[in-house]
């Protein structure tokens, strides 16, 4: 196959009418292509591709680092939030506990106070009843004494005074008049 | 480029004497003169050929040599001075860098892996060199250096030499020779070795011809379409010719990028293949 192509090549390049046929290989051009390409490879390699590739590598590194850092920051934030949530939940639980305990204590206290108040009230009532009883007794006693005295006085007066009808009536009236003042 | 084309029918005494074939060939082949805007045709200096052994080498600069130098200077200017690398890319550098990254990540890395940055200079240089030569042939007064078989063949031979050098260095001479046997029984070697040897040389040959033919064909088609106007000697064909020529021109822009990419990609593939045999089981990756 190569031989066929070579033959076709020779045929085409053998066009003598034009100086430089389409398929003529000019050695000078080969020389200059090699020189130009080599120089370009050296120059661009040093001044263009080197810095560009270095920049690309730097950028890759930077993006990689940034992503890693962002991931780390995200993880940190997540763990921090979890911790915060934990603390918050604990606080809530504590608050509920405290409220419950306080309520219990208050209830207990309320019960105690009510009990005590009831007790004291009943004691007071008891005392009052006793007092009243005592007062009543002493009043009865003094009444009895006074009634006795009055009866004795009245009897003495009846005895000492004349027992006429007018006097008698006046005596009784006096006595009755005197009664409240002597009480 | 175009000016000469339109001058041709006027200079000839009779309009029938228009040499379309010669004009086309003149545009795509090398010459010792430059066609510049305003200044017109400039003769390039001519030196006496040098004799090396039996070979006569004419080292005087030609149109394609000048185009190559122009491309080289342009590349050094653009990449060395104008588009300086930045960590946060911007503007022109951003655009150029995106192509550099494409070559690095999509073309070279699949073949070289960890060794990408050790070989990257070669592929970036060859890609941009070919691309700029392809594209500069598409601007007025420009010439396509890659439309010259000597240029593409030289580049292909450079890739070939790098391929063999890399293969021998990474596999050793023994491994390299063993690869030529294709891993078959020794009785089959008389068949296998020539086949492998031919395979070795067809690769750069295909590289050279593909780039050369693609670059030449587009120009020939454009010039032929425009030539139709002069061949048919009527203005009515002009709109059609120009529309088609414009279409081919835009296609050529695409082909310019495509062929630069293909040359680079195949070079990376060939060179990378020699490298891979060192790590993989012999005979599997071919």
Name the more confident of A69 and B84: A69
Answer whether residue B282 shows pLDDT above 50. Answer: no
Distance CA B118, CA A138 (A): 129
- Residues in chain B, how many? 286
**How far away is chain A from the Cα of B252, in angstroms, using its nearest Cα?**
19
Closest CA to B194 of B205, B207, B181, B176: B181
pLDDT in tens, B141-194: 888 889 889 999 999 999 999 999 998 888 888 888 887 877 778 888 888 888
**How far away is chain A from the Cα of B236, in angstroms, using its nearest Cα?**
32
Mean pLDDT computed over A116-136 = 91
Would A81 be classed as within a structural domain?
A: yes
State ipTM.
0.84
Would A150 be classed as within a structural domain?
A: yes
Give B262's contacts (C-beta < 8 A, 6+ positions apart). B210, B211
Note whether B244 and B252 are within 8 A (CB).
no
Confidence tier at A181 by pLDDT (50, 70, 90): low
Would A91 be classed as within a structural domain?
A: yes
Answer whether residue B283 shows pLDDT above 50. Answer: no
Answer whether residue B3 shows pLDDT above 90. Answer: no
Minimal-distance CA residue of chain A relative to B158: A34
Q: What is the pLDDT of residue A144?
A: 82
**How far away is chain B from the Cα of A63, in angstroms, using its nearest Cα?**
11
Residue B248: both structure tokens together: 């081919």
**Any chain B CB within 8 A of the CB of A155?**
no
CB contact under 8 A, B72 and A36: yes
Host domain of residue A125: 27-182
Nearest Cβ partner for A55 among B80, B86, B216: B86
Q: Per mean pLDDT, which range of A60-69, A110-119, A134-143, A163-172 is the poorest?
A: A163-172
Distance CA B286, CA B277 (A): 9
Answer whether residue A45 shows pLDDT above 70. Answer: yes
Helix (H) or strand (E) holding B235: none
Distance CA B241, CA A55 (A): 48
Would A119 be classed as within a structural domain?
A: yes
Note whether B248 and B221 are within 8 A (CB).
yes
Every domain of chain B and the residues it spans: 2-276
CA atoms lying within 13 Å on the CB side of residue A106: 6
CB contact under 8 A, B30 and A26: yes
Q: What is the pLDDT of residue A10?
A: 47
Would A3 be classed as within a structural domain?
A: no
Mean pLDDT computed over B187-214 = 89
Q: What is the pLDDT of residue B16?
A: 53
Would A22 be classed as within a structural domain?
A: no
Would A15 be classed as within a structural domain?
A: no
Answer whether residue A17 shows pLDDT above 80. Answer: no
Confidence tier at B281 by pLDDT (50, 70, 90): very low
Nearest Cβ partner for B154 among A34, A49, A51: A34
Would A9 be classed as within a structural domain?
A: no
Alpha carbon separation from B39 to A86, B26, B34, B62 (Å, rounded): 85, 19, 10, 17
**Any chain B CB within 8 A of the CB of A36?**
yes
Q: Count up the domains in chain A and report the number.
A: 1
CB contact under 8 A, B97 and A52: yes
């Amino acid at each position: 196959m190569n031989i066929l192509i070579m033959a076709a090549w020779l045929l085409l390049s053998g066009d003598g009418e034009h100086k430089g046929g389409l398929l003529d290989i000019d050695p000078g051009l080969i020389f200059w292509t090699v020189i130009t390409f080599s120089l370009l490879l050296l120059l661009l390699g040093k001044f263009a591709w080197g810095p560009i590739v270095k920049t690309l590598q730097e950028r890759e590194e930077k993006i990689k680092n940034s992503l890693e850092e962002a991931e780390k920051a995200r993880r940190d934030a997540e763990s921090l939030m979890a911790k915060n949530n934990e603390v918050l939940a604990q606080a809530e639980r504590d608050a509920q506990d405290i409220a419950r305990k306080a309520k219990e204590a208050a209830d207990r206290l309320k019960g105690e106070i009510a009990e005590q108040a009831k007790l004291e009230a009943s004691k007071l009532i008891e005392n009052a009843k006793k007092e009243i009883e005592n007062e009543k007794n002493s009043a009865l006693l003094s009444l009895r004494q006074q009634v006795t005295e009055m009866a004795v006085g009245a009897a003495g007066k009846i005895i000492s005074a004349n027992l006429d009808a007018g006097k008698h009536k006046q005596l009784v009236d006096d006595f009755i008049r005197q009664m409240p003042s002597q009480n | 480029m175009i000016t000469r084309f339109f001058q041709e029918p006027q200079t000839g005494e009779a309009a029938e004497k228009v040499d379309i074939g010669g004009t086309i060939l003149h545009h795509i082949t090398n010459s010792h003169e430059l066609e510049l805007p305003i200044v017109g045709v400039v003769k390039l200096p001519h030196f006496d050929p040098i004799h090396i052994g039996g070979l006569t080498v004419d080292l005087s600069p030609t149109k394609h040599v000048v185009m190559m130098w122009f491309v080289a200077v342009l590349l050094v200017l653009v990449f060395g001075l104008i588009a300086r690398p930045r960590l946060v890319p911007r503007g022109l550098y951003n655009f150029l860098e995106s192509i550099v990254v494409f070559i690095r990540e999509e073309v070279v890395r699949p073949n070289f892996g960890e060794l990408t940055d050790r070989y990257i200079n070669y592929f970036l240089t060859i890609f941009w060199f070919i691309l700029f030569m392809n594209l500069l042939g598409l601007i007025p007064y420009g010439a396509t250096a890659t439309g010259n078989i000597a240029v593409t063949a030289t580049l292909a031979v450079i890739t070939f030499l790098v391929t063999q050098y890399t293969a021998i260095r990474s596999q050793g001479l023994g491994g390299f020779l063993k690869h030529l046997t294709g891993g078959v029984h020794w009785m089959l070697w008389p068949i296998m070795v020539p086949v492998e040897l031919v395979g070795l040389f067809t690769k750069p040959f295909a590289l050279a011809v593909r780039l050369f033919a693609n670059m030449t064909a587009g120009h020939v088609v454009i010039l032929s379409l425009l030539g139709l106007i002069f061949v048919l000697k009527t203005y009515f064909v002009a709109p059609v010719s120009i529309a088609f020529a414009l279409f081919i021109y835009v296609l050529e822009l695409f082909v310019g990028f495509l062929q630069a990419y293909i040359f680079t990609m195949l070079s990376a593939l060939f060179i990378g293949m020699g490298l891979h045999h060192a790590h993989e089981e012999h005979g599997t990756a071919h």
